[in-house]
Amino acid sequence: SAVISQKPSRDICQRGTSLTIQCQVDSQVTMMFWYRQQPGQSLTLIATANQGSEATYESGFVIDKFPISRPNLTFSTLTVSNMSPEDSSIYLCSVAQGQGEKLFFGSGTQLSVL
């Protein structure tokens, strides 16, 4: 499977600031996704990062709050904007790769907002 590097691994941020999370894959992948996992909860799809076009957001998530870039087939960023304590969560980059497009996850970014 692909090696998915995500950074930062964790951060503590102040309310009202923004954080950009980077996801780098060691091979070209078709699909990249961003998930949020709140403490003790399931994985919620934020958006699909589309190469060369605007991301596709799930219900409840908007571009102004979670802008996403995907300049090429190996890299994507997720920005969490104007943060509040409710944004404290683990953010996971994931890629669909291989025969049948199996889904694999990066190591995650643990975000705490004070």
| DSSP class of 48 | E
Residues in 49-108 at the binding interface with another protein, rule: CB under 8 A: 58-59, 92, 94, 96, 100-108
Q: Give least dist CB 89 to another protein, A.
A: 14
Cα–chain center distance at 72? 15
C-alpha 17/C-alpha 38 separation (Å) is 19
Which residues does 40 contact at the CB level (< 8 Å), separation at least 6? none
Show the site string, 12-51: x = touches another protein by CB under 8 A, - = not. ------------------xx-x-------xxxxx--x---
Q: Give least dist CB 86 to another protein, A.
A: 19
| Cβ-based nearer residue to another protein, 48 or 69 | 48
> SS3 of 18, please?
coil
Nearest to 23, CA basis, from 43, 8, 38: 8
Binding interface with another protein (CB under 8 A): 30-31, 33, 41-45, 48, 58-59, 92, 94, 96, 100-108
